[in-house]
Amino acid sequence: MARASSRWREYPCGNSSGPKARDGTGADAFPSRRTVLELPLITLTIRHRTTYRYHVPVSLGPHRLMLRPRESRDLHLLSSEIRVTPDAAVTWAHDVAGNAVATATFGVMTDRLIIDSFTVLELYAAAWPVFPIAASAISYPFRYADDDWTDLGAMTVQQYPDPAGRLGDWARGFVRSDPTDTLSLLKDLSNGVAAWVNYQSRDDEGTQAPVETLARGWGSCRDFAVLFAEAARSLGFGARIVSGYLHNPDRTLAGTDGAGSTHAWAEVYVPGAGWITFDPTNRSVGGFNLIPVAVARHIDQTTPVSGSFVGMTDAFRDLSVEVAVTS
């Protein structure tokens, strides 16, 4: 027998159906705010199934599940449930970024692993949000407060090598003047990603380095998100990667071939406004159609499902993911 670490990971981006995740948890931490916020309210149901199949029974190692959406002022969880087949002991914890992480441990061998996630939520979000940026940060460049800079920490540091400075040079091309409007700069940078890179869904593991994405001129939503976040960091901004779901009822957006899918985007911290959502894949600002599940410094930290198995090295057969986001 050989240990085959699946680290078979299910990556966010365009997973809605076809080849490619039960502890029950509910939530009512945030009371209804419809009359308080006066924002559009939409109730969404998310069904997410990940299936691993093996040629022969294998012993499953612990599997890490990041499937529970992040609650906030704009997102209210009505119910959230995870079911695992074969039966597993499921424990919950929060990681350093405050993401809900479930760990499933198994006691039997199996030739199939099925992870089902069912979520019902209310999403309050404006399609055209107004961001109350602090006066000190309206114009770029600006200086973060010392406490903010300390707390942002690694979120301000580029995570991929750029020895020739190509990414930084590319990002500085969007700085039109000195000083320049901060929000306009970030919007131009996000739109610039979509203008420079063609969207191409891909099911293979991993994420391209930003300079690789620039050189190739194509990428998936996770490549778009990483390129934007790293470019923002090169300009001195604090940025983080977000994985979750895209609600696309009109089926007009990139990143999905149906009404909803897994998706990746980014957020930039701007004083006064806080974390501002940018989806460079669809050239959008704000999260009116996005359901965040995990935020992190690096996209590998936001993988919806990851784990390992012990068995023959050729035991793995295939992985499939089915996602539906409906209203």
93-127 pLDDT, tens per residue? 999 999 999 999 999 999 999 999 999 999 998 88
- Greater confidence (254 vs 261) lies with 261
* Alpha-carbon gap, residue 153 to 96, rounded angstroms: 13
The average pLDDT across 60-76 equals 96
Give CA separation, 168 vs 171, 189, 224, in Å.
5, 12, 16
Tell me the HSE value of 52 on the side-chain side, using a 13 A CA sphere. 27
Asked if residue 246 lies in contact with residue 325, where contact means CB atoms within 8 angstroms, the answer is: yes
Helices 221-234, 182-196: inter-axial angle, 10-degree rounding: 140
Residue 140: which residues within 8 A CB-CB, separation 6 or more? Answer: 175, 179, 180, 181, 182, 185, 235
- Give the predicted TM-score (pTM) of the model: 0.87
Residue 275: which residues within 8 A CB-CB, separation 6 or more? Answer: 240, 267, 268, 269
* Alpha-carbon gap, residue 12 to 62, rounded angstroms: 20
Residue 252 has a pLDDT of: 62
The average pLDDT across 210-214 equals 96
Q: Which amino acid is at 207?
A: T
What pairs with residue 247 in β-bridges?
Answer: 260
Residue 4 has a pLDDT of: 41
Structure tokens belonging to residue 215: 């050189």
- pLDDT tier, 236 (very low <50, low <70, confident <90, very high otherwise): very high
What pairs with residue 110 in β-bridges?
Answer: 58
